[in-house]
Structure 1
């Protein structure tokens, strides 16, 4: 359960922003989306390799 302490006189928008940030950090929505569909381990590995290649390419362009 996420608890967001709200100080006296604090803006409700600010409290909502804190709540959303904490909720995103828990990764609940991300995990829920991942569990909706099964991906074969070979597909996951291929995606991870492609992502690593992409990141490496970006880093080489910066240097």
Structure 2
């Protein structure tokens, strides 16, 4: 459960903004969307491998 401490007289919109930020950091929505459709382990590995290659190329180009 996410708890947002509010100070006396703090604006509710500001507290809501803090809550949204904390909620996004937990990754609940991202996980929900990934669980929505089943992906085969081989496809998952392929995507991870392609991402690793992409990141490695970006790092090499940076140097």
TM-score, normalising length: structure 1: 0.89
Q: Which runs of 5+ in 1 are unaligned?
A: none
Q: Which runs of 4+ in 1 moved over 3 A?
A: none
Pairs aligned (count): 63
TM-score by length of 2: 0.89
1:24 aligns with 24
1:19-45 Cα offsets, whole Å, 9 max, x none, are 011101211101110111000000000
Q: CA RMSD in A?
A: 1.0
**Distance in 2 of aligned mates of 1:11 and 1:48:** 42
Gaps of 5+ in 2: none
